[in-house]
Amino acid sequence: MKVLANDGISKSGELALREAGIEILDNRVAQDHVINFINENNVDVLLVRSATKVRQDLIDACPNLKIIGRGGVGMDNIDVEYAIEKGLYIINTPNASSRSVAELVFAHFFSLARFLHEANRLMPLEGDTHFNAMKKSFNNAYELSGKTLGVIGFGGIGQEVVKMGISLGMKVKVLTRKPITKTISLNFFDGQTVNFEITSTNDTEAFLKDADFISINTPKTQEYIIDTPQFEMMKDGVYIVNTARGGVINEVTLLDFIESGKVAGAALDVFENEPNPELILLMNPNLSLTPHLGGNTIDAQEKIGVELAEQIIEIKKKL
């Protein structure tokens, strides 16, 4: 069996595959040449992340392909249903990067609550001339402890966000399409485990009206989850972080509500017009911005590689 990890794979994942007698090709093939490469090299497994697109034309043109794997959660760059209809195995790693994404959520929350994103922009430019003025302008900061954290989505990432919120002493609320109850376990360094039973709500207004910090952790949606009606339900001075997908929050409307003061600050790791975010977003001082870094940690990539390898090895036994 041959595997093309076109968007890369961790050393741990590569080692696991090789130990199972599976050949791995670590080439990086341009999108226009992927089909030819797969056919010329008799590739059985195509592994991608977000860069390589796996559409119907590729699936039809590569009859020897048996498995398509996505290193991450979202599958919007793969025509999943069509591939399944054609008899291919589709695998992904929904939980491997959950902790990394959740930590980025809170990195942004801390940054927004303490004006770190803006201070880091201004200190190199004005730190030597306007030090005291900046100190004064950034003094309306907040602690997260005791505040209400609203988490939209209760999958692997949402659960990790909830865990971190609880560990910081925040009040936690979860919004899902249908109410669901899950047990959240916090494991500590000394072996102790504390369990919390969290039940989500599907009452959007009740969820939004008292949330101080809101994290969006949903799959890609066909329409906005957060738009004008939802912004109007929020309390004044709310902070919002989107590490889900571009298109779940209306970016234009977001800027309007930042301008009005309804939203104190927001963070975007994903964008509607990715990878070319609108300049008006990039220049807004009330936005904390990252270039889709959610799962981009060494730890997450190691987990992703190992999870993919384990799934491929299991499928190989069935073929």
Residues annotated as catalytic (active site), given as ranges: 245, 274, 292
Burial class (CB in 10 A: 0-12, 13-18, 19+), 48: buried
Burial class (CB in 10 A: 0-12, 13-18, 19+), 205: exposed
Kindly give the interhelix angle for 298-318 and 98-113, rounded to the nearest 10 degrees: 160
Residue given tokens 């017009």 in the structure block: 273
Distances from the Cα of 53 to the Cα of 34, 75, 131, 218, angstroms: 10, 10, 48, 21
Cis peptide before 275 (omega within 30 of 0): yes
Residue given tokens 């599976």 in the structure block: 22
Strands (E), 142-237: 148-152, 171-175, 181-187, 193-199, 213-216
The CB density around residue 39, as the number of other CB atoms within 10 Å, is 14
Query: Dihedral of CA 195/96/157/165: which sign?
Result: positive
